[in-house]
Structure 1
Amino acid sequence: MGIFDYEVIQIDGDYAHLRNLDRPEDELKLVARALLPQEIQEGSRLHYECFEYTLTGR
């Protein structure tokens, strides 16, 4: 797949809307919260690599 960095823009129930930090003009990515670290909140930064999201900052 690839290596990407995202910002959590909105949490909507069981899903989170993520913005790709390298391509902010792209559409937001909708991801099931079950695939994300539990402690995320709006404004959190995530790193995606090898099919895994890790929290990198607030």
Structure 2
Amino acid sequence: MSISIQTTSSDSGIGEDIILRETDTTRLLFRPELVNNQHNSDASVKGCFIFQKKKKRIYG
């Protein structure tokens, strides 16, 4: 699996969304951010989890 990173500054970049779980009406994403953490080099990835829900389709 490869992820493209868009540079936002000389010390950070944002990765493309990673779909962790998906159904017909919902999905769970992780949006990674790579940072140059000068105080702790082991903590160079931050990110957020995003839960998205689609509206139900109404037929008729």
Q: TM-score, normalised by structure 2?
A: 0.35
Bigger fraction of residues in helix = 1
Structure index of larger Rg:
2
